[in-house]
Structure 1
Amino acid sequence: MVVAEDGQAGAGESAPPGWRDRVRARRGGHLALRVVIGVIGCVMIVGGLIMVPFPGPGWLVVFAGLAVLATEFPWASRLLELAKRAVLAATDWLRRQNWFVRVVASLLTLACAAAIVWVTLKLTMGIDLVQMARAFVP
């Protein structure tokens, strides 16, 4: 078999099996691969959802987890495509709006994120940011 410089097989020839194909070829490999990819994808999604209200790439990690799951599960691929379409539709809609609607949407997003951070800190560590802020106001 002739392999081109970019690693792709020439026209009419099949490419060598990838690592996933070699794992699937072993007894129990297909199930093991699905379990490992399922666990990794789910951990990424849960971790991303935990990061969403905090500074950082929360939604990016959620979408990356869906992309990992989509390599093995057709339902995850469909969900990822649906999420992409929803995000694109929302951003396109927001781009078409005037500055007032954009500012209100940004403030609502900031208020939701602040509320999530406040609830998370209060329930997990017993820290009440509102009470602490009131101590600084005369």
Structure 2
Amino acid sequence: MIIGALGAVVVAIGILLIPLPGPGWLIVIGGLAIWAIEFVWARHLLQFTKDKVRGWTEWVKRQSLLVRVLIGLAGMVFVAAVLLTTLRYSFGVNVVSQAWHYVKTR
């Protein structure tokens, strides 16, 4: 019961952090690993997740440098978009508008 509750708390925290830049998915997987100690279904889901991540990693390693750079850039653009959206709608800070205003006044 304690393992189940601890895993649920870790998974819930990870899910809350997914929209933010950072280790949201990693925390969810950590919670899943805690659940896997006690629950067979979590063990199967964790193994499935590991297999998919390993497959993705191996596929990326086989790609040319250009493709790996493009994948990295796409990841950075995605994280930047999430960060800018979070700042805009959670804190009311429009970084793009402020940066544009700064550029125009210089």
Task: Report the TM-score, using the length of structure 1 for normalisation.
Answer: 0.66
Seen in structure 2, the aligned counterparts of structure 1 residues 42 and 131 have a Cα distance that, compared at 3 Å, is: farther
Seen in structure 2, the aligned counterparts of structure 1 residues 98 and 53 have a Cα distance that, compared at 3 Å, is: farther
Aligned residues: 103
If each structure's helix is expressed as a fraction of its own residues, which one has the higher value? Answer: 2
Say whether 1:47 aligns with 2:13: yes
Pairing partner for 2:24 from 31, 53, 58: 58
Structure 1: segments with no counterpart, 5+ residues: 1-32
Pairing partner for 1:80 from 11, 27, 46: 46
Map of 1:104 onto structure 2: 70
Deviation at 1:51, TM superposition (A): 5.5
Map of 2:94 onto structure 1: 128
Counterpart-to-counterpart distance in 1, 2:51 and 2:57: 10
Task: Report the TM-score, using the length of structure 2 for normalisation.
Answer: 0.83
Map of 1:16 onto structure 2: none
Does 126-135 or 97-106 show the bigger shift?
A: 126-135
